[in-house]
Structure formats: C-alpha cells, structure tokens
Amino acid sequence: MQTTAARDRDIAVYIQDNWKRHPRLTINAGVRADFVRRFDDITPLQKMMPPASYTIRLNAGGKQLTEKLELRKDPNSGGGEAEIAEQMKMLTALKRDIDAAADVVNQIELVRGQIASLRQVLEDAEIMQPAAALEQQLIGIEANLIELRLTGRGQDGVRWGSRLLGKFGYLAGGLAGTDCRPTTQQIEVQKVLEERLRKHQADLDAVLSSDLKALNELMRGRGVANIVTRRPTS
C-alpha cells in the first residue's frame, strides 16, 4: 500500500519576444528562469497484505510466470481475520485521505513554483502584485497541511506540532501497528481529520477558480504564459 508523495519541484518559465530594431534587423530574445523548491517527502503508508489467497505474477524475458500463494494469519497475533479486514478497510480509506491531502500540497507547490519563476523574469507590477497576493493565500492553505518551517534538522519534531498530513500519518501508523480492528476513538479522529481536509480542498478550489483565473486572464492579455495547476501527463 503506497501513498502519494510530494517531492522536489523543478519549474522553469521562458519568455520570448521579437524586437524590430531596424527594417532589416529583428532581434529575437528570450529569458528563462528555473526554480527548484526543496520539499520533504510525505512518509509512505505501508501495510502488509491481509490473510487471503493471492496470485503472484512475474514478467521476465517476454514471459509471464505465475504462482499461487496462500497468506495465513500469524498464529501469535491477537486479532482475528474479521478484525484485520476492518483494519484494512480503514487503512485503505486513510491512504485515500493522505493521497488527497498530498494532491492539494502538490498543486499549491506547482503554482507557487511558477510564481517564483515569474518573479525572476517579470517586473510588471500589475501582474506581480496579484501574483504575490495569490501566493499568500496558497501559503495560508498549505500551512494547514504541512509545516512550512521545517528545516530537515533533528529538532523539527519538537519545535512545531504536526499538521494535517502528519496527523493522518500518525493515525495510520498507530492503526497499522497491530492486527486489531480500529478503536472508536480512531474512527472518530479520522472523521474529524477528513472534515478538515474537505475544507482545505474547498478553499483551494475557490482560490484557483477565482484569484488564479483572474491572474491568468491578466497574464494572457499581456502575452505571458498562464500558470497551470496540473503537470501535463505523458
């Protein structure tokens, strides 16, 4: 069970224009700015598969090999198969929650990276002022999901409390540490965290559909490439 991770962002902006200096001389010039933002990976959620019958497939040399596997419960484990099934159901839901929260962070990081790149090549205040205001709104949303002041040093964990993604991770880690069904408290905590996640998703959607849309329209009118919220899929 592998969750989505938020990784380093490498974003580039390129602006090009033609300048007709003389009827017989046209200058074509461009400026490129690269922005790399360091971002700590979200700890993957890992859980062993529950007891069941599985088929293992291996593709090698143009051939597919298959083998049946019967995965049995540890006889020393205190939890029964029904309890493990309930545990896996909640862990699957938590994986979905973590992926959704990571997606919000990744969208924000992508937009912020493009704004940072624009800042290096544009001096148009009519564009950069609303861009800076947009960035502050995004930071406000992102700070609810991850701790933006992390330095990567060992004392980070005691300097600041966990944000929403960290809380999802702690909840999943505690649940995955046993073979027991989720407790009533764990179920209630998940509901609370999911409500917070939905609010942050709604806040981001509102900012992207309003402020970013207005900024892109302004940039389009000035011949500047728009800011995207998703990376192109190949």
Pick 65 or 153 by higher pLDDT. 65
Asked which of 42-46, 134-138, 178-182, 199-203 is least confident by mean pLDDT, the reply is 42-46
pLDDT at 8: 46
pLDDT at 159: 77
How confident is the prediction for the chain on average, in pLDDT?
83
Kind of pairing, strands 25-37 and 9-22?
Answer: antiparallel
For the stretch 171-193, pLDDT in tens is 998 998 888 899 999 999 999 99
Let me know: does 175 contact 90? Beta carbons within 8 Å: yes
Helix 164-176 vs helix 81-121: angle between axes, to the nearest 10 degrees?
A: 160
Q: How large is the average pLDDT for residues 151-179?
A: 83
For the stretch 59-100, pLDDT in tens is 988 899 899 988 888 888 777 888 988 999 999 999 999 999
For the stretch 37-51, pLDDT in tens is 444 445 566 666 778
Report the alpha-carbon distance of residue 95 to residue 100 in Å, rounded. 9
Whole-prediction pTM value? 0.76
pLDDT at residue 205 greater than cutoff 50: yes
Neighbours of 105 (CB within 10 A): 23
**% the chain with pLDDT above 70:** 76
Residue carrying structure tokens 């965290």 = 193
pLDDT at 131: 96
pLDDT at 2: 47
Using CA atoms, how far residue 75 sits from 51, 62, 85, 87, 182, in Å, is 11, 39, 16, 17, 20
